[in-house]
Amino acid sequence: MGAMLAGLATPALAEEQQVAQSDTGLAEIIVTAQRRTENLQDVPIAITAANSETLAQARVENVANIQAISPSISFRVTNIATSSANLIIRGLGTTGNSRSFEGSVGVFIDGVYRTRAAAALQNFLDIDNLQVLRGPQGTLFGKNTTAGALLLSSAAPSLNDVNGSVEATYGNYDGLIVRGAINAPLSDTVAFRIAGLASSQNGFYTDSTTGDDLNGNKTRAAKAQLLFEPSENLTVRVIGDYSYSNGNCCYATSAFIDGPTQPLIDLLTLYQPSSSAQLLGVLTGALPASSMTPTGRTLPSRDASKWEQTLNGNGKQTIEDYGGTLLVDASIGEGTLKSVTAVRKFKVDQVDLDPDFSGADIFRYNESFESRFISQELTYNTKITALNAEAVFGLFFSDEKLKMGRSLPWADQAQYYWDVIFAQLGVAPGTANAAPGTWTSERMGGSAKSYAGFAHLDFAVNDKFNVIAGLRYSVEKKRGFFNNSFYRSSPFDVFTLLGIAPAPAYDATSTDKALSGTFGLQYRPTDDIMLYATYNRGFKAGGVNMDVNAAGTLINNAEAYNALPAPIRAAFFGNAEAKDPLNPRYKPEKVNAFEVGGKFQYLDGRARTNIAFFYYDLSDLQIAQFIGLRFTVLNAKSAKDYGVEIENMFQLTDGLTLGLDGTWIPHAQYAKDANIDPVLSGSRFRFSPKFSGNATLNLDQPINDNLSLLARAQVQYQSRQLISTATTAEQGAVTLVNANLGFKLPQTGLLIEGWVQNLFDKTWFTQSFPTPLQTGDQNAYPGAPRTYGIRVRATF
């Protein structure tokens, strides 16, 4: 059980993992964190990880709940996974919404880099272990990352025997997950493994008008693997996987801060006016609300704990993710050549969504995203005897093609809404054109090519002291474009009068070249103590912002702006002169990361403490913002992030262990910078609490030879934090309690377990954002309410 809690810590391409149980004390974990077999406590890298059973007990069904295994890492996602799925480690990560760039935390699945964290948002299928590496990575990986890496490894086929597992979990909100896997040797050299998954869950929200659930989801997935080992010097493994999910995700949110338009939104939710004049009369008190026709819709509760919302449209999201991976290990000379080849396709479609996040029927939203990705990594692991050094040499290439699009139709109440808004600006009702129908269709896309060479050497000076050094050279080529395939020609369209669109089209490229690397010292004064100090130079490429306003607004589109009738330019823009398009490019992100740490084992092996102090000096930190209508990418000129994290594991009895983990980040702050949004300049990073901690008790107590009692209790704590890249909105301190209770029959392979997450049904928010078209208003996405259920697993 100690091994289960201490976790399994290996990098993405580590395929060998063993647990050696001592007679007393916590289990020794044998990993290949530096592409060779080592004790976890000897690896000079801050790592947290968990095997498949630990993930299941912690309810880490996908990356959404990853903080349950480490307080140093968190995950957030809002309305569309391709743009808003963000991983954050030690307070650092890509925050906000952007279609354009990869995250500061890299996601690797079976050694294959995934350009979007959303790839880990689907329910895990046949995953053997998950690992979190903290700090910049690059000299052991194909893709460079500035904040860390999340690594997932599938259970590999085995030549030994036929075996498998079946598991079913059912919980409230009609949550159901059924999955199974079977391994079958086909000969002495070939084995086959296949796994499948089906899941469904009603959304936590209820439509206050219809009673339907909102934000629900269904997923189907399959994974097949073929292992070929013709000799001890050659291993070939082929992995193919496919997943498909659909639901009415993800526009049900809670009101967070009401703005001045809220009374108008509420009125349009309840009533349909016959004219703008009638609506203005009701708002001014000249007419009663009953003079309008009821819509039949009802207002949702303002109490977020009620989980109510009213939306329009038949919103539907589908996500399709599939691909193939070829893994080859070949002994060549004194080392091993490893090849990782991958081809992947990732598609997201959203149709008839409600992006005004309200019961007022103002506008709808359709968006598509498609990524075609190929990659090739080659590494050669060897020992340089003359230098007494373990060495890794690698080459990496990837090519991604991106295709995106949006269409925005005005809905039935848009004209009334905008007539009221413009009336407050002194514009006569009917001037703005918000008649129902599509007013714009947008095409966006681009490409990203990565080339890299890297090397990592570990010199053993003597049996106590090692020197570690690594270098990486990267070339990143990006392209991004935007144009309107359709824009309604009326000069009185709302976004034209607001000066936002039609925005200038562009097709831009960006190339970044960088030298990065690592240098470290490792010292083992005794068998139970390992001390280390490292420096890492991290780099994440710049690129081109793929958004309608990346090159500016209407005034930056000289052709469209100058074509406006003179009276409109005079009335709305004061006859201002047209300006040149803005540069849609953003700069690469760089970090100088310093870390000093130690790993300690004591009390006759019944206790472990791993501690790391870190200091990050960042430049041109990339920040994505959604500011009501536009998606921007900013570069903060400089920022600093430092703190300490500690992981403790204590074996209280043979069957009971206690984990106490904490991350304290006293400083994670942007410097004063006139070139970024004033709400960010000089402020703390978003989604970065000063303290996060987990306390976990695990019991695995044999009752007799064929019955063991299982129990788990966890308290998760986060101090207050800022939760919006566009505002100063805060979420106060949050404490969550999770628990499990069950039993297993080791001889028959049966496990039955009851579980509950967020036991006391705490209502809290993960992220807030400016509500589109409603200046001063904010909505927010809550964390999951109390969920509970039962899990049954059988192995054979």
Confidence band for 83, pLDDT divided at 50, 70 and 90: low
Beta strands 585-586; 543-544: pairing state: antiparallel
CB neighbours (10 Å) of residue 135? 25
Mean pLDDT, residues 436-465: 95
> 325 vs 2, which has greater pLDDT?
325
Confidence band for 442, pLDDT divided at 50, 70 and 90: very high
pLDDT tens-digit readout, 723-760: 998 899 999 999 999 999 999 998 889 999 999 999 99
List alpha helices for 43-191, DSSP H. 52-57, 81-84
How far apart (Å, rounded) are the C-alpha atoms in residues 657 and 54?
13
At 22 the pLDDT is 43
How far apart (Å, rounded) are the C-alpha atoms in residues 20 and 711?
23
How many structural domains does the chain have? 1
Lowest mean pLDDT, pick from 127-141, 367-381, 604-618:
127-141
At 325 the pLDDT is 97
Report whether pLDDT(341) > 90.
Answer: yes
The residue count of the chain comes to 796
Mean pLDDT, residues 642-669: 96
Report whether pLDDT(9) > 60.
Answer: no
What is the chain's mean pLDDT, rounded? Answer: 91
At 624 the pLDDT is 85
pLDDT tens-digit readout, 418-432: 999 999 888 888 889
Instruction: DSSP for 466-487, please give it.
Output: EEEEEEEEEEEEEEEEEEEEEE
Mean pLDDT, residues 451-467: 95
Q: Are the CB atoms for 191 and 230 separated by under 8 Å?
A: no
- Greatest mean pLDDT among 16-25, 97-106, 161-170, 565-574 lies in 161-170
pLDDT tens-digit readout, 129-176: 888 889 888 888 888 888 888 888 999 999 999 999 999 999 999 999
- Residue 280 phi, psi dihedral angles, 5° rounding: -65, -35
The CATH number covering residue 35 comes to 2.40.170.20
3-class SS of residue 191: strand
At 210 the pLDDT is 93
Mean pLDDT, residues 443-453: 96
The residue range of the domain holding 581 is 2-795
- Which of 166, 179, 196, 183 is CA-nearest to residue 237? 183
At 21 the pLDDT is 42
Confidence band for 33, pLDDT divided at 50, 70 and 90: low
Q: What's 37's DSSP letter? A: -
Mean pLDDT, residues 63-89: 83
Report whether pLDDT(672) > 90.
Answer: yes
Residues 6+ apart with CB under 8 A from 396: 142, 143, 375, 376, 377, 378, 450, 451, 452, 453, 454
At 115 the pLDDT is 84
Report whether pLDDT(119) > 80.
Answer: no
Q: What percent of the chain has pLDDT over 70?
A: 95
Report whether pLDDT(99) > 90.
Answer: no
At 32 the pLDDT is 65
Q: What percent of the chain has pLDDT over 90?
A: 76
What amino acid occupies position 258? Answer: D
pLDDT tens-digit readout, 673-700: 998 999 999 999 999 999 999 999 999 9
Mean pLDDT, residues 494-520: 95
At 13 the pLDDT is 34
At 483 the pLDDT is 96
> 353 vs 631, which has greater pLDDT?
353
At 671 the pLDDT is 96
Contacts by 37-42 with C-beta closer than 8 Å and gap 24+?
A: 40/6, 40/9, 40/599, 41/528, 41/530, 41/599, 41/601, 41/608, 41/610, 42/524, 42/530, 42/599
Confidence band for 85, pLDDT divided at 50, 70 and 90: confident
Instruction: DSSP for 194-222, please give it.
Output: EEEEEEEE--SEEETTT--EES-EEEEEE
At 14 the pLDDT is 34
Report whether pLDDT(304) > 70.
Answer: yes
How far apart (Å, rounded) are the C-alpha atoms in residues 419 and 65?
44
Report whether pLDDT(11) > 60.
Answer: no
pLDDT tens-digit readout, 207-224: 999 999 999 999 999 999
Mean pLDDT, residues 123-134: 88
* Residue written as token pair 């009501």: 628
pLDDT tens-digit readout, 223-242: 999 999 999 999 999 999 99
At 30 the pLDDT is 65
Confidence band for 121, pLDDT divided at 50, 70 and 90: confident
At 629 the pLDDT is 67
Mean pLDDT, residues 574-585: 93
